[in-house]
Amino acid sequence: MIDLAETKRALDGKSPEAVLEWAFGAFPRIGISTAFGPEGCALVAMAARIKPDIKIFTVDTDFLFKESIELREKFAAKYGVHIEVVRGEVSIEEQNKKHGLNLWQRDTDLCCALRKVEPTERVLKGLDAWVAGLRRDQSKTRADIDVVEYYERPEGPLYKVNPLLHWTRKDTWDYLLKNDIPYNPLLDQGYKSIGCWPCTKPVDADADERAGRWGGQKAECGIHTFMARKG
């Protein structure tokens, strides 16, 4: 356990690198989750310099764009990091048999729960803290995130660390381009946020960052909302 209020005060205004260094020192069992969006790319590049053996995990929903898979492989090669790829316990075949074809068209929440949330929750059971690449200005659902958050679980407390909470989209891109960090080429083709190919579309330049996901039905897949935040 940490003194959450004091930790938040101590980290207020610190750089993402400083927050990462604190987190890596505070929690022996810590990992970074990423879908290799721009923020995740920035975080992995930072973390690889600070702690090359940091646990990095990503969810393969079996519906990823080929560009997303290629980017994941490029990161592993460029930064020399091991990226754990996790998948849902329910295969696509089993999902289709039980729920029918194209579940995402009828129940996006259930599809995301099977393909994204379940494997993430499984990995988190082995961790005391996880690092995510969320920004406050990405959407209304993320406007109140904090640098360190506390969640209760049957297996013990879980802390979530958001080093990029104060960054803007411009900050993210400035960092990527300045440091020659790879990113998904679909982001140069009108996509602002990239998930599974059936539920991700390009959007207008002035559209909300999450507008191209799930046909506008929702802004979150559930990975960042399936647990109740306690602090």
Residue type (1 letter), 113: A
Residue type (1 letter), 117: V
3-class SS string, 20-85: HHHHHHHCCCEEEECCCCHHHHHHHHHHHHHCCCCEEEEECCCCECHHHHHHHHHHHHHHCCCEEE
Catalytic residues, by residue number, are 221
For residue 195, give the DSSP letter.
-
Compute CA 193 distance to the chain's CA centroid, rounded to the nearest angstrom: 11
Q: How long, in residues, is the chain?
A: 231
Residue 217, token pair as written in the block? 């039905």
Check if the beta carbon of residue 124 is closer than 8 Å to that of residue 160. no
